[in-house]
Amino acid sequence: MTQRNLWLRAVGFMLATLLLAVACAWLLFGRGRSPVQTDLLAMLPATERNPLAEVAAQRLAHANGNRVILLAANKDDEQAKAAARELGQLLAKDKVFASVTAELPPFDLQQLFAPYLQHRFSLLTEADRQALAQPGYDPRQALAQHINEPFVTGVGTRLQDDPFGWLQHWLEQQPWSRSPLLPEDNLLTAHRDDGSYVLVTATLSGSAYDDGIQRRALAVLDQAEHSIEHDHPGTRVLRTGALFYAATARGDAERDVHRVGLISTLGIALLLLLVFRSPRPLLLAFLSTAIGIVAATTVSVLVFGQIYLLTLVFGAALLGEAVDYSIQYLTARANAGSNWNPGQGLRQVRPALLLALGTSLLGYALLGLVPFPALRQMACFAMVGMVVACLSVFFLLPALLQTPAKPLTHVSVRGALVLQSAISRCVAGRRGILLGAMSLLLALPGWLQMHHDDDVHLLISPPSTLVAQEKQIRDVTGLGNSTQFYLVQGANEEQVLQREEALEQRLQAMTDAGQLQGWVGLAGMVPSLQRQQANQALIAPLFAQAGRTHQWLHEAGFRDADIDRLLQAWPGTPLHLQAWLKTPAATPFRYLWMGDEASGGAASLVLPQGDASNTALQQAAANLPGVTLVDKAAGVSQLFGRYRRYASLWLLAAVLLIVPVFGWRYGWRSMPSVLAPPVLGIGFTLAVLGYLHHALTLFHWMALMLVLGVGANYAVFLREGEPHVTHRPGAMYASVLLSAATALLSFGLLAFSSMPALQDFGLTLLLGIGFTALLVPASTASRISLS
Amino acid sequence: MSCMTHHPRGLLNRFAGCALLVLLLVCCSAHAQNTDLLHSIIDRLSQHSAVRASFTQQRQSPALTQAQSSSGQLLFVTGHGMLWQVKQPYQQTLALTGSRTMRIDADGHMQPVRSERGINQISQMLQGMLTGQLDAVTRQFDVQADGSAAQWSLHFTPRQSRMAQVLRGIQLDGGNYLQRIRIIMQDGTQTDIQMTDTHDAGPLSALEKHALDVP
């Protein structure tokens, strides 16, 4: 290859890189919204077979996404209320909050309840239904009992409009009547042993996942909290809402990216400098990696439209693997000494690089088969990054590395040689077999102690302080997010409500038995027409003969004019869902109706409240047509479990895929020794994880796939490289150790990440790459002992 | 996520609970209040942990042409609630426990009258008060005491505008025991409960213990 050709290729490659860099900059910063996705729920895979269930889960997660719930708490009631008022006023000053509610608007009782009067003969509580259905029901006695109720009667509805109290009872069991928060001094307040809690809610003027909104809202909140804590000593502010979770997730991920990125960059730079004794290899190695990462980011954003936090953190760690290709080329140059020819050097490392790239791509492609958006993105990111980093070695580096280099540091080569020959001696011949058998025996108890964990907290582990605050707010107010709900589907509105009623009957039984705190569903607020007709049919006999009814009411003491009005109002009209949904009373519950979203049918959501197990909730839905329990967390956990089981099989499949490749390249006799280091590395890693009582997760298995890929790379590098450096024994192993050290520096640091999934990933790679790097001299041991 | 509303019903269905609450408070709380009289009244009442009495409830409502009257027996147990046993003009036994209202039929079979959770919150407030927090009542009402320790009256006026829209006031009269409860609503309804023959309850029957959940 001529020098001119080398430069042409390099310039072409650089131009393409510049284009990529511009595209990447535009994608990341040029558009209004950052493509970094801080909504952790968005990372979760689709778990539901029913597509509407996914829509419902998304909708529920975002229904309150832009709402912030705050509680001002103080031992002293007056202080708590004053603090809440001030908090409300301070927040309302900033435009980042579209609305802030602390003090309640004035209201008019009659206006709220008057609309229900026309439906009063269609709405009955379960207790009244049962009473009316009893054969011995005596209307005169029922009237007497109602008007003589102890203490008070006819609150909310006027006694003459509702002489039996049916509507009053029905209104009393509506969810808005059951809120643990009481309006006091115009504030929604709850009292506990440790003081008063006052509710303040605010709605953001934009998405809680919007970077700008997040920062501004948090700044305003922090300042407001600070000043009310100062003005009202002893006040605590409890907060919950998607805003806080998203901001924390972003903060954690940014910290991880900075820490992992910075430490690994510095560490790798130092190592490269020490080994190559010149800044140029260092700069080129980073250039090659940087190009890979820019390309990976660009393609990921183009393909997925956004980039997940997990991918960013993982991407920071990918440095360590992408740098391997340039290290191999740089080592070849250092080892060639004054005979260096960039084109020839490239031809020398090409088979090793291609084979290594092939095995890596194989590993990541398997990762990409998992149907998790986040994992697919990680796989896509890694594959693009690897390919481009490798291409940069083929196209860019030769032009920039035309002059010969200093040989590798003597210490590093000497050290590597000592280690390599020590290991080779240990694993050669009978001693090797004995040692292998012993280590397998030692690993056995570790394997026996392996166990599994598939919980969703692996991917989403919000800080415990936020979780504790949310729990406390839920305990005090009954408000809070739930990822468990029922999706009720039917051919039309009426069928959906009927099916809800069947479900709610079971949920009410669970509530009565104390298994559930309660439930919220539309059918409790708007019964099906069938139920309303049945209610009316229960009342009908009492109104069958107007004269008789008149007489009962008259005897009970009601005025004739009122009785006539009541009789004229009979039978009234049923309450229709669509009409009800338009009333102000329905506002907080409108999101429960999914009607418009269902194609070819109607659907609604029913939310169980309280801490019932998935099994108990599942039982409540058993054999009810059209009712599905959607439990996102459980769904994801199940999926984790399923893929963890597949992952172990995939690992085996990947090993089996590599067998013929190595067999073809190195011959069937040598194949086992090339394959042994990564396979044993995986085996020992599993044993150590077992000894550590680390519950194995899907992420451990994914990391093991990478160990296989990276470990096979090392065996290949060593095996392919040795013949070219016979003049410097140990130089090739030194380069492998360098690769391993860079990988450990980047992936290993993930073990200190804030995300449990990445911690598992990092620890496994730390162990796996460590073991494999130590075992890899075995792949050439037979050859050394032969020669 | 569920019921973020500012509806007044929550208040209203607690109202019955509130009336009961005031009664329970006054009957049993032994804790200091700002006035000496209130203090001594509470002190006096709290000496009886379980009482029985005969009651007569008179109700006048603008919706009704004549006053309604019912009478029967009541059993009040501090910290547990009340059995309200109507003998006239019909027979009915209700167990009012703060957390729920149950109807007890002739065979001792209990049936919930209302399935709402609302008064559960009252029950929590109630438990707090019975362990010495008068605050819950003074947050909801202004309390005024007249008379002497031997013959006293307590007037409760709602402090919260939402409750004041429905309730005008509550008055309690008594001596050694509570003798009379008067509840006046804004719509003009007046409920007047007179208690006579009040005495310490003595041992409770199995049914009474069961109904009020007394161990």
| Comparison of pLDDT for A483 and A613, the residue scoring more | A613
Q: What percent of chain A has pLDDT over 90?
A: 23
B200's enclosing H/E stretch is: strand B190-200
Does the residue B198 lie in any domain?
A: yes
**Beta-carbon contacts below 8 Å between A and B:** 189
A411's enclosing H/E stretch is: helix A410-427
Cross-chain CB nearest to A141 (options B8, B90, B118): B90
pLDDT for the residue numbered A533? 96
Does the residue B28 lie in any domain?
A: yes
Say what the pTM is.
0.72
pLDDT for the residue numbered A178? 67
pLDDT for the residue numbered B35? 62
Task: Band the pLDDT of B2: cuts 50, 70, 90.
Answer: very low
Cross-chain CB nearest to A183 (options B61, B118, B162): B162
A3-31+247-457+635-786 and A66-104+186-240, same CATH topology: no
pLDDT for the residue numbered A84? 94
* Residues 116 through 175 of chain A touching chain B, CB cutoff 8 Å: 125-127, 130, 141, 144-145, 147-156, 158-160, 169, 171-175
**Å between B131 CA and nearest CA of chain A:** 10
Residues of B in contact with A126 (CB under 8 A): 115
Highest mean pLDDT among A74-88, A141-155, B1-15, B138-152: A74-88
* Residues 606 through 635 of chain A touching chain B, CB cutoff 8 Å: 607, 609
Query: Cα dihedral angle (A548, A554, A560, A564), rounded to 10 degrees?
Result: -30
Residue A640 has pLDDT above 70, yes or no: yes
Of the candidate ranges A115-124, A305-314, A393-402, A553-562, the one whose mean pLDDT is the lowest: A305-314
Q: Do A152 and B183 touch (CB under 8 A)?
A: yes
| Comparison of pLDDT for A563 and B130, the residue scoring more | A563
Every domain of chain A and the residues it spans: 3-31+247-457+635-786, 66-104+186-240, 117-135+470-633
pLDDT for the residue numbered A542? 92
Q: Which residues pair with A768 in a beta bridge?
A: none
Q: How many Cβ atoms sit within 10 Å of the Cβ of residue A161?
A: 19
- Interchain contact A240–B (C-beta under 8 A): no
Residues of B in contact with A201 (CB under 8 A): 4
Q: What percent of chain A has pLDDT over 70?
A: 92
Does the residue B1 lie in any domain?
A: no
How many CA atoms lie less than 13 Å away from A190 in the CB half-sphere? Answer: 25
A631 class by beta-carbon count within 10 Å (0-12 exposed, 13-18 middle, 19+ buried):
buried
B94's enclosing H/E stretch is: strand B92-96
Tokens of A331: 């080592």
Q: Which residues pair with B180 in a beta bridge?
A: B173, B194
Q: Do B4 and A147 touch (CB under 8 A)?
A: no
Does the residue B4 lie in any domain?
A: no
A666 Cβ neighbours under 8 A, 6+ residues apart: A674, A719
Residue-wise pLDDT for A83-132, tens only, equals 999 999 999 999 999 888 888 776 666 677 788 899 999 999 888 998 89
Cross-chain CB nearest to A144 (options B90, B96, B165): B90
pLDDT for the residue numbered B98? 62
**Domain A3-31+247-457+635-786: top CATH class:** mainly alpha
Chain A residue nearest residue B19, CA to CA: A151
Task: Band the pLDDT of A46: cuts 50, 70, 90.
Answer: low
Does the residue B59 lie in any domain?
A: yes
Task: Band the pLDDT of B140: cuts 50, 70, 90.
Answer: confident
Chain B residue nearest residue A153, CA to CA: B16
Average pLDDT of span A600-622: 84
Interface ipTM: 0.83
- Interchain contact A203–B (C-beta under 8 A): no
How many CA atoms lie less than 13 Å away from A383 in the CB half-sphere? Answer: 19
A531's enclosing H/E stretch is: helix A529-543
Of the candidate ranges A358-372, A533-547, A705-719, A759-773, the one whose mean pLDDT is the lowest: A358-372
Residues of A in contact with B86 (CB under 8 A): 148
Residue-wise pLDDT for B153-210, tens only, equals 888 888 877 778 778 888 888 888 888 988 888 889 999 999 999 898 889 888 888 8
Does the residue B55 lie in any domain?
A: yes
Residues of A in contact with B19 (CB under 8 A): 151-152
* Residues 170 through 199 of chain A touching chain B, CB cutoff 8 Å: 171-186, 188, 191-193
Number of domains in chain B: 1
Does the residue B3 lie in any domain?
A: no
Are A333 and A405 in contact, with CB atoms under 8 Å apart? yes
What are the Cα distances from residue A682, in Å, to A569, A687, A772?
80, 9, 8
- Interchain contact A480–B (C-beta under 8 A): yes
Nearest of A669, A753, A676 to residue A712 by alpha carbon:
A676
Task: Band the pLDDT of B64: cuts 50, 70, 90.
Answer: very high
Secondary structure (H, E, C), A382-401: HHHHHHHHHHHHHHCHHHHC
For residues B74 and B52, give the distance between their C-alpha atoms in angstroms, rounded to a whole number: 6
Task: Band the pLDDT of B8: cuts 50, 70, 90.
Answer: very low
End-to-end CA distance of chain A: give it in Å, rounded.
Answer: 34
Secondary structure (H, E, C), A216-249: HHHHHHHHHHHHHHHHCCCCEEEEECHHHHHHHH
Cross-chain CB nearest to A154 (options B113, B121, B189): B189
Average pLDDT of span A562-584: 91
B105 class by beta-carbon count within 10 Å (0-12 exposed, 13-18 middle, 19+ buried):
exposed
- Interchain contact A475–B (C-beta under 8 A): no
Task: Band the pLDDT of A390: cuts 50, 70, 90.
Answer: very high
Output the CA torsion sign for B59, B65, B71, B74. Answer: negative
Q: How many Cβ atoms sit within 10 Å of the Cβ of residue B124?
A: 18
Residue-wise pLDDT for A215-274, tens only, equals 899 999 999 999 999 999 999 999 988 888 888 888 887 888 788 778 888 888 888 888
pLDDT for the residue numbered A364? 78
pLDDT for the residue numbered A40? 64
pLDDT for the residue numbered B186? 87
pLDDT for the residue numbered A438? 84
**Å between A204 CA and nearest CA of chain B:** 16
Residue-wise pLDDT for A427-479, tens only, equals 777 777 788 888 888 888 888 888 887 776 666 677 788 888 888 887 777 66
Q: Do B161 and A172 touch (CB under 8 A)?
A: no
**Å between B45 CA and nearest CA of chain A:** 20
What residue numbers bound the domain in which B27 lies? 9-212
The whole-chain average pLDDT of chain A stands at 84
**Å between A179 CA and nearest CA of chain B:** 6
Residue-wise pLDDT for A305-341, tens only, equals 888 877 877 776 676 778 888 888 988 888 888 888 8
CATH of the domain at B140: 2.50.20.10
- 3.40.1350.10, 3.40.50.300, 3.40.50.720, 3.30.70.1430: which CATH number matches A66-104+186-240? 3.30.70.1430
Residue B12 has pLDDT above 50, yes or no: no
Residue-wise pLDDT for A700-724, tens only, equals 888 888 888 888 888 888 888 888 8
